[in-house]
Amino acid sequence: MKRPKPTIGILLSLMMLIGNGLTLNVKASVEGPPRQIATRGNGHSDRKLGHEIRKQMRRGTNDFVPVILQLKDRPSAQLAALLRDHGFRIRRSFSNFRTVAIEAPLQLLANLANFPEVHFISADSEIRPFGGHVAHTTGADNVRSMGTNGPLDGEGIGIAVMDSGVYDSHVSFLDATTGKSRIVVSMDFTGEGRTDDPYGHGTHVASAALGNGMVANGHYIGIAPKASLVNLRVLNSQGVGNVSNLLAALDWVITNQSDFNIRVVNMSLGMPAINSYKDDPVCLASRRLVDAGIVVVAAAGNNGKLGTGEKVYGHVHAPGNEPSVLTVGAVDTKGTDGRADDGIATYSSRGPTRSSRVDALGNRQYDNFIKPDLAAPGNKLVFAKSPNSLLSQQNPSVDAQVSANTTRAQMRLSGTSMASPLVAGATALVLQANPSLTPNMVKMILMFTAQQLTGFNILEQGAGELNIDGAVRLAKLLRTDLTSSTTIGTPLLIGEAPSPYSTISHGNSNYTFEWSKGILVGSTYATGTALITGYQPLYAQGVLISDGVLVSDGVLVADATKLSSGVLIADTLLISNGGPLGNGEFFCATGVLVADGVLVADGVLVADGVLVADGVLVADGVLISDAVLQAFSALMSGDPTLDMETEVDFETDYLGF
């Protein structure tokens, strides 16, 4: 139990890190006599304690535990006294967030939560990774020649990949023209003092977003092959990190975003989304990045089915439950370039978000947002391999047998981890085509142009499958002089609205599909050409797209200050028939999600945090069952469908993408 008391310097750092002009008489706080500290919570403290903390407290242990402390005001003298006199230890501080990672006595966390300046206390939980010629099937190859000042390839855009590090000697991260590395900075936040990739996940993810295609005649090219890579290592050699690692990396991005033009962050990792996005520290930090103009892309998770194969709803992971984040599910392309046979991978996590908080009356309120926002190819994708990595040692079959040269070797993985960087790369192309876009505009563009997949409901696919061809065409037509003060309904496009269809060629055939022509707005979706012909205030920076919907007596209506006339708000969620968003068969009423009632569909029941499917119980976001889905089964093997045909590399650099 004993811990060294924090020094005055550590307490001083706590007072100063709160930022935003919040200061305090530190001498009085640290050296003054301690005030009387309550011995138990006052009835309100439980609302400020995360589910995992309360679960630990119920066990009655007397340990010191690592937690994340979020503050909403400057720390008081009483708070400083509690820290000083009871052995609290500050482990990490963050200059851009009102947050610290501390080690604290478990039995005193309720007392700590009583302080009015404390917003929320949650466990410093573990985070883990989730886990074809996708440039062709996603439409990236269609847009290479659409750049105004050269090819659209992500050049000049910084993508921060928060993962297990990057094997920097792999040729995939070179500039194919100059031969110089496109890794502009590498940082380690794990404490291991290295930025390479001994686990093997980050290298694969990074090359999916921005691999240069030099290997095997461009067969494994990433989406943005000239984007700059910001390598932020948050997962250790075993592929495990914690919340404080991730917060430190997000904090670093805000401080350094202008130095490396970081416009996109990819997180192919996460943890169970138990605490509401309004309290979860990674969600709140991600929102800060979005408000700063950075598009944050996150994997939805690989908990879409049980080990016995039954569908599971409500298991989107954090930070994918954050409404400002662009959350990505996985598509199974069946190993083909054509899109006609595409479907959602069985393991891809489904919505709604079931993270929650307790209100002032003691009632649990669930977030219940539709997620994922989008889906992208994620099944059995071949991208760069880190040599001698733990993943490849434990699973030799992941080697794609493309090259024996470690600087050119490729591996095959499946999961939403693989889908997320494709959307991150697509975001870089969209921003290269129109650098003035806000994160909300990017989300709108990607959703509006997505392809709805036949037979899958909105909680599985969101707005549909990624369509880079349509996204870039629409992005190039959006005006660049829009501001947060632009009047609602102001013409949004330069010229006429684009045709809402895209064509992807494969072999001697062409496949044409219609765009979704809609966007997700919280617990429902909105449709209408007015979404792209007139400016909507919810596209501004610093707001949520979900702010465009109001709830009145359980009925969803458009907020007329955020959405113009001509935008329709849906009252039902559908199973798509492959047409635009809103075409298909009834799945459930939107009011079910808003009212936090009971969702009954596909034999699955969701009610107040409890999901029952064929005798399996899921409560408070935690799976309680012997048939637990092993995320790595998706990561390593994917759905049992045909592998995309591989191409052997002959160590001749391909430069003709």
Taking CA atoms, 490 is separated from 340, 478, 484, 532, 542, in Å, by: 37, 12, 12, 10, 19
The single-letter DSSP state of residue 507 is T
Q: How far apart are CA 53 and CA 177, in angstroms?
A: 52
Of 541, 532, 537, 520, nearest to 486 by C-alpha is: 537
Q: What is the reported pLDDT for 596?
A: 56
In a domain, 69, yes or no: yes
Cite the beta strand spans of 305-355 per DSSP E: 326-332, 343-344
Q: What is the reported pLDDT for 84?
A: 82
Question: Helix (H, G, I), strand (E, B), or coil: what is residue 595?
Answer: helix
Q: What is the reported pLDDT for 641?
A: 55
Least confident of 13-27, 205-219, 287-301, 525-539: 13-27
Domain range holding 155?
Answer: 128-481+630-636
Q: Are residues 89 and 174 in the same domain?
A: no
Helix H segments across 7-50?
8-17, 26-31
In a domain, 646, yes or no: no
The single-letter DSSP state of residue 263 is E
Query: What tens digit of pLDDT does each residue of 465-489 get?
Result: 999 999 999 999 999 999 888 999 9
In a domain, 619, yes or no: no
Q: Are residues 284 and 356 in the same domain?
A: yes
Q: What is the reported pLDDT for 51?
A: 85
Identify the residue whose tokens are 């969702």.
599
Q: What is the reported pLDDT for 321?
A: 96
Ramachandran class of 656: left when φ > 0, alpha when ψ lies in -120 to 50, beta otherwise? alpha
Q: What is the reported pLDDT for 147?
A: 72
Of 294, 284, 264, 456, nearest to 372 by C-alpha is: 456
Q: How far apart are CA 283 and CA 287, in angstroms?
A: 6
DSSP 599-645: EEETTEEEETTEEEETTEEEETTEEESSS---HHHHHHT-SSSPPPP
Q: Are residues 313 and 422 in the same domain?
A: yes
In a domain, 376, yes or no: yes
Q: What is the reported pLDDT for 135?
A: 64
Q: Are residues 98 and 199 in the same domain?
A: no
Q: Average pLDDT of the chain?
A: 84
Q: Are residues 174 and 288 in the same domain?
A: yes
Whether the predicted pLDDT of 551 surpasses 70: yes
Whether the predicted pLDDT of 218 surpasses 70: yes
Q: Measure CA of the first residue to CA of the last residue in the chain; give whole Å.
A: 60
Question: Which domain-ending residue is among 75, 101, 124?
Answer: 124
Cβ atoms of residues 127 and 271 within 8 Å: yes
Q: How far apart are CA 136 and CA 219, in angstroms?
A: 9
Pick the residue with more confidence: 184 or 151? Answer: 184
Q: Give the pLDDT band (50/70/90) at residue 11.
A: very low
Of 638, 515, 500, 644, nearest to 582 by C-alpha is: 515
Q: Are residues 119 and 132 in the same domain?
A: no
Q: How far apart are CA 371 and CA 353, in angstroms?
A: 7
Arithmetic mean of pLDDT, 637-647: 54
Whether the predicted pLDDT of 5 surpasses 60: no
Q: What is the reported pLDDT for 17?
A: 47
**339: its two tokens:** 């899109």
Q: Are residues 112 and 135 in the same domain?
A: no
Question: Helix (H, G, I), strand (E, B), or coil: what is residue 203?
Answer: helix
In a domain, 583, yes or no: no
In a domain, 490, yes or no: no
Q: What is the reported pLDDT for 655?
A: 54
- CATH number for the domain spanning 180: value is 3.40.50.200
Q: Are residues 372 and 445 in the same domain?
A: yes
Q: How far apart are CA 199 and CA 167, in angstroms?
A: 10
Gyration radius of the chain over CA positions: 24
Taking CA atoms, 345 is separated from 392, 504, 511, in Å, by: 23, 21, 21
Least confident of 115-124, 160-169, 421-430: 115-124
Question: Which domain-ending residue is among 124, 148, 175?
Answer: 124
Cα torsion through 464, 348, 469, 223, rounded to 10: 160
Whether the predicted pLDDT of 229 surpasses 60: yes
Q: What is the reported pLDDT for 26?
A: 28
In a domain, 169, yes or no: yes
How many structural domains compose the chain?
2
Q: What is the reported pLDDT for 419?
A: 96
Whether the predicted pLDDT of 636 surpasses 60: no
Whether the predicted pLDDT of 32 surpasses 90: no
Q: Identify the helix (H) or strand (E) that includes residue 255.
A: helix 243-256
- 382: exposed, middle or buried (Cβ count in 10 Å: 0-12, 13-18, 19+): buried
**188: its two tokens:** 């380690």
Q: Are residues 79 and 148 in the same domain?
A: no
Arithmetic mean of pLDDT, 491-520: 91
Q: Are residues 120 and 137 in the same domain?
A: no
Q: What is the reported pLDDT for 407?
A: 96
Amino acid at 250: L
Pick the residue with more confidence: 213 or 650? Answer: 213
Amino acid at 444: M
- CATH number for the domain spanning 62: value is 3.30.70.80
Query: What tens digit of pLDDT does each residue of 343-398 get?
Result: 999 999 999 999 999 888 888 889 999 999 999 999 999 999 999 999 999 989 89
In a domain, 465, yes or no: yes
Least confident of 55-59, 293-297, 345-349: 55-59
Question: Which domain-ending residue is among 124, 153, 169?
Answer: 124
Q: Give the pLDDT band (50/70/90) at residue 433.
A: very high
Q: Are residues 118 and 134 in the same domain?
A: no
**227: its two tokens:** 């984007």
Of 343, 354, 270, nearest to 312 by C-alpha is: 354
Q: Give the pLDDT band (50/70/90) at residue 41.
A: very low
What are the φ/ψ torsions at residue 151 (nearest 5 degrees)?
-65, 150
Q: Are residues 260 and 321 in the same domain?
A: yes
